[in-house]
Structure 1
Amino acid sequence: MIYLSLIDLPLDEAVKQQLVQSLNSYIESSGIVHKHDVENDRIELQHPTPEQIQKIIQNFDIIESVTSSAFTTIRPGEFNTVQRQFGFNIQNTDDDLPIVGIIDTGIAQQTALAPLIIDDTTFTLAGSPLIDQAGRNGLGHGTAVAGLVALGRLNHRNNFENEVTADARLLSIKISNNGSGYISEIDLLNMLYDVKAKYPEIRLFTLTTCYSSFMYKNETFSDYTYSLDKFAYETNSLIFICTGNNENCINENTSYDLSYFHGDHTNLSTPADSMNNVTIGAAADNLKDGAFLGIASGREFPTLYTRKGHIDLSVIYNPKKTNKNYFKPDVIESGGDMGYYNANTLDWMDEPALTLLSARPEIGIMQEVGTSFSAPLTANLAAKI
Structure 2
Amino acid sequence: MPDVATVDALRLELGDLPQLDSLSDDAPLIGIIDSGVNDHPLIEDILVGAIGVPERLGTADEWGHGTRVGGVAVFGDLRAQLANGGLARGARLCAAKVVNERGEFDDRRLVPSQMREAVATLNARFGCRLFVIALADTKRVYDGGKVGTWAATLDELARELDVVIIVSAGNRAPRGGNRIEQAVTEYPRYLTEEGNRLFEPAGAINVVTVGSISHGNGLDARLGTEIAVRPITEEGEPSPFTRIGPGVEGSIKPDFIDLGGTMVLDPLVQRLRDGRDVASAGLLTLHHRPVEQLITSGSGTSYAAPILAFKAAQILTRVPDASANLVRALLASSAAVPEAAQARLAPLGDEAIRSVCGYGQVELEHAAFSDDARVVLYAEDELAIDHFAIYELPIPQLFQSTNGRRTIKITLAFDPPVRHSRNDYAGVALV
TM class, shorter-length: 0.5 to 0.7
2:80 to 132, 147, 157: 157
1:225 maps onto 2:154 in alignment: no
Q: CA deviation at 1:347?
A: 2.8
Aligned partner of 1:198 in structure 2 is 125
- Change in Cα spacing, 1:254 to 1:202, as seen in structure 2 (3 Å) is closer
Deviations 1:90-144 (A, max 9, x none): 3213453111111011111143210110144466555332x2121xxxxx11111
Give the whole-Å Cα distance in 1 for the aligned partners of 2:146 and 2:101. 29
Q: 2:253 matched to which residue of 1?
A: 328
TM-score normalised by length of structure 1: 0.66
The amino acid that maps onto 1:172 is: A
- Percent identity reads 24
Shift of 1:270: 0.3
SS at match of 2:184: coil
Q: Classify 1:96/1:306 alpha carbon distance in 2 versus 1 (closer, same or farther; 3 Å).
A: same
Q: Pick closer, same or farther for the CA change 1:193–1:95 going to 2, 3 Å.
A: closer
Q: Distance in 2 between matches of 1:276 and 1:156?
A: 31
- Corresponding position of 1:320: none
The AA in structure 2 aligned to 1:170 is L
Q: Which residue of 2 aligns with 1:305?
A: 241
Q: Identify if the C-alpha distance between structure 1 residues 358 and 259 changes in structure 2 by more than 3 Å, giving closer, same or farther.
A: same
Whether the 8 Å contact between 1:214 and 1:267 is mirrored in structure 2 is no
Measured against aligned partners, the alpha-carbon deviations of 1:173-200 in whole angstroms (never above 9, x if no partner) come to: 111123532343213312322222223x
| Aligned counterparts, 1:234-383, within 5 A | 234-247=160-173, 249=175, 253-255=182-184, 257-285=187-215, 295-311=231-247, 326-342=251-267, 346-348=272-274, 349-361=278-290, 362-383=292-313
Q: What TM-score results when the alignment is normalised by the length of structure 2?
A: 0.60
The AA in structure 2 aligned to 1:166 is R
* One-letter amino acid matched to 1:299: E
1:175 partnered with 2:102 = no
When the two chains are superposed, the root-mean-square deviation of aligned CA atoms in Å is: 3.2
Q: Is 1:189 matched up with 2:116?
A: yes
Structure 2: gaps spanning 5 or more residues: 1-6, 225-229, 316-431
Distance 2:201 2:214 in 1: 23
Residue number in structure 1 paired with 2:44: 114
Using the alignment, how far apart are the partners of 2:152 and 2:219 within structure 1? Answer: 40
Would you say 1:133 and 2:59 are equivalent positions? no
Contact 1:107 1:146 in 2 (8 A): yes
- 8 A Cα contact 1:296 1:302, kept in partner: no
Instruction: List aligned pairs for 1:8-157, cutoff 5 A.
Output: 83-87=10-14, 88=17, 90-94=20-24, 96-121=26-51, 125=55, 127-129=57-59, 131-134=60-63, 140-153=64-77, 155-157=78-80
Does the 8 A contact of 2:261 with 2:300 survive in 1?
yes
| d(CA) in 1 for partners of 2:56, 2:84 | 34
Note the alpha carbon deviations across 1:185-227, whole angstroms, 9 max, x for none: 213312322222223x321000001001242532311121111
* Larger deviation, residues 295-304 vs 225-234: 295-304
Partner Cα separation in structure 2 for residue 207 and residue 235 of structure 1: 16
Equivalent AA in structure 2 for residue 132 of structure 1: D
CA distance 1:307–1:164, change in 2 (3 Å)? same
Q: 2:134 matched to 1:208?
A: yes
Q: Distance in 2 between matches of 1:381 and 1:182?
A: 29
Is 267-276 or 257-266 further displaced after alignment? 257-266
Please say if residues 284 and 302 of structure 1, whose CA atoms lie closer than 8 Å, have aligned partners that are also in contact.
yes
Is the Cα contact below 8 Å between 2:34 and 2:96 reproduced in 1?
Answer: yes
Tell me the distance in 1 between the aligned counterparts of 2:54 and 2:12: 30
CA contact (8 A) 1:111 1:360 kept: no
Tell me the CA shift for residue 371 of structure 1.
Answer: 0.5
- Count of aligned residue pairs for this structure pair: 287
1:360 CA drift (Å): 1.1
- Please say if residues 336 and 368 of structure 1, whose CA atoms lie closer than 8 Å, have aligned partners that are also in contact: yes
Unaligned runs of 5+ in 1: 1-79, 135-139, 314-322
